[in-house]
Amino acid sequence: MFESFSIVFTIAALFNYINYKWLKLPTTIGLMILSLILIIPITLSATIFPEFYRFFCDIIINADFKTLLLDGILSFLLFAGALHVNLGALAKEKKSIFLFATLGVLISTFIVGGLVFFAAPLFGIALPFLHALLFGALISPTDPIAVMAILKEAKISKSLGIKIEGESLFNDGIGVVVFSGILLIATATEVHSSSEIGAEIGSLFLEEAVGGLFFGLVIGFLGLKCIQSLKENPQLAVMMTLAVVMGGTAGAFMLEVSAPLAMVVAGLFIGNKVQVSADKNPVQKAINSFWEILDDVFNGILFVLIGLAIHLLHFNTSYILLGILAIFIVLLARFISVFLPYALLKHEEQKPIKTVAVLTWGGLRGGISIALALSLNKDLSGDLILHITYIIVLFSIIVQGLSIGKVVKKLFSKEI
């Protein structure tokens, strides 16, 4: 696995250089596009240089995208992102963020699942309803990694930015819990009664979500106390933040609580108490610089892997057509799942529909959706779900990611 990781890292660094010097695109989008371009000669080499093609396939397979993301770099990326989020600004939007991350995910899950279930037979595809709901659950959460990477390049208001950023940080953990609950139903309906399944799902939510939030506070507090006592040793302070992420993630797995939610809470707690974004004293500068670099490194690896792994899939016409239709279904579900919770709140905006439109178009999907799709086997329609998930993720990152800045400019040109 180390060899595969090293090669992917080297490709990511090279593509980052090419994008910085010539393409000038948002980093994640540039890496994705360059990775897709690289797929062309690799695919053509299958007949001319089969050994090289097999070697490259082995690299992607050995990298183990699902495990690498969900059990590894996701915690680092979420912690890095949360470090720089202003907790005061986040608190002002707490109601909308809470509704988007909970009610919004549930609404989107059932709209996407229901519509895809009815759409699949149009293309000669048999997709059980629970399997369609699994797809709805994994595609509904916006990816914090993709969203926060694109937001760095888009000029949006602080209020709107914190809504998108805050929602994306929390809803992936909620989405994983919803996904796990539906997966439990899909695999255990013949064994357990509905009341037992309901109790297990409730227990799962308490353990994963609530437990993750509480555990994040605990490790964040302990890490903060250590960092605050190291004003004369910024290198050791950085090491302590690494210990919070690595030890915290391992602890979350052992306690069976949500590691993503724990990392978000720990990052928010430490980042705001240490005031990392101020970047004035040696500890602040060291932590800020280290985590910005690590964020760029892991983002590069993640998006290169997303682009390169597509050559392992075998698309057919039915999958492609359903995937294209699913793009519109997901966008519709995103609009409804944002509009309904947003309508429950009071807002200062004269035309809140503009905010809803930006939240809809800015709700990007990314690696988390692909990783969850990879966890499904053929008995759960995993092959179909992975293919349509890939189509949506590529559209989301490339098309929505490239145009979100223009959408914001057009809708809020007078305010900017």
> What average pLDDT does the segment 241-250 reach?
96
Q: Is the pLDDT of residue 4 over 90?
A: no
Q: Is residue 92 part of a domain?
A: yes
> How far is Cα of residue 200 from the mean position of the Cα atoms in its chain?
26
Q: Is the pLDDT of residue 33 over 80?
A: yes
**pLDDT at residue number 235:** 95
> What average pLDDT does the segment 163-178 reach?
84
> What average pLDDT does the segment 271-275 reach?
92
- Domains held by the chain: number: 1
Instruction: Look at 6 and 408; give whichever has higher pLDDT.
Output: 6
Cα 193 to Cα 369: distance, rounded to the nearest angstrom = 29
- Whether the Cβ atoms of residue 331 and residue 403 lie closer than 8 Å to each other: no
Q: Each residue of 68-99: pLDDT tens digit?
A: 888 888 899 899 989 988 888 888 888 888 89
Instruction: Look at 260 and 278; give whichever has higher pLDDT.
Output: 260
Task: Kindly report the average pLDDT of the chain as a whole number.
Answer: 88
Query: SS3 for the chain, per residue?
Result: CHHHHHHHHHHHHHHHHHHHHHHCCCHHHHHHHHHHHHHHHHHHHHHHCHHHHHHHHHHHHHHCHHHHHHHHHHHHHHHHHHHCCCHHHHHHCHHHHHHHHHHHHHHHHHHHHHHHHHHHHHHCCCCCHHHHHHHHHHHCCCCHHHHHHHHCCCCCCHHHHHHHHHHHHHHHHHHHHHHHHHHHHHHHCCCCCHHHHHHHHHHHHHHHHHHHHHHHHHHHHHHHHHHHCCCCCHHHHHHHHHHHHHHHHHHHHHHCCCHHHHHHHHHHHHHHHHCHHHCCCHHHHHHHHHHHHHHHHHHHHHHHHHHHHHHHCCCCHHHHHHHHHHHHHHHHHHHHHHHHHHHCCCCCCCCHHHHHHHHHHCCCCCHHHHHHHHCCCHHHCHHHHHHHHHHHHHHHHHHHHHHHHHHHHHHCCCCC
Cα 121 to Cα 218: distance, rounded to the nearest angstrom = 49
Q: Is residue 3 part of a domain?
A: no
Q: Is the pLDDT of residue 191 over 70?
A: no
Cα 270 to Cα 87: distance, rounded to the nearest angstrom = 10
Q: Which of 6-15, 279-288, 381-390, 406-415 has the lowest mean pLDDT?
A: 406-415
Q: Is the pLDDT of residue 248 over 60?
A: yes
Q: Which of 115-129, 204-218, 244-258, 339-353 has the lowest mean pLDDT?
A: 339-353
Tokens representing 375?
A: 């966890």
Q: Is the pLDDT of residue 361 over 50?
A: yes
**pLDDT at residue number 413:** 66
Q: Is the pLDDT of residue 105 over 60?
A: yes
Q: Is residue 232 part of a domain?
A: yes
- Whether the Cβ atoms of residue 158 and residue 410 lie closer than 8 Å to each other: no
**pLDDT at residue number 192:** 56
Instruction: Look at 250 and 147; give whichever has higher pLDDT.
Output: 250
Q: Which of 64-78, 97-111, 191-205 has the lowest mean pLDDT?
A: 191-205
Q: Is residue 35 part of a domain?
A: no
Q: Is the pLDDT of residue 416 over 50?
A: no
Q: Is residue 102 part of a domain?
A: yes
Q: Is residue 72 part of a domain?
A: yes
pTM above 0.85, yes or no: yes
> Residue 218: which pLDDT band, with cuts at 50, 70 and 90?
very high
- The residue type at 331: L
For residue 378, the enclosing domain spans: 65-411
| Percent share of the chain, pLDDT over 90 | 50
Q: Which of 66-75, 199-208, 280-289 has the lowest mean pLDDT?
A: 199-208
- The residue type at 247: G
Q: Is residue 104 part of a domain?
A: yes
For position 133, which CATH number holds? 1.20.1530.20
Q: Is residue 126 part of a domain?
A: yes
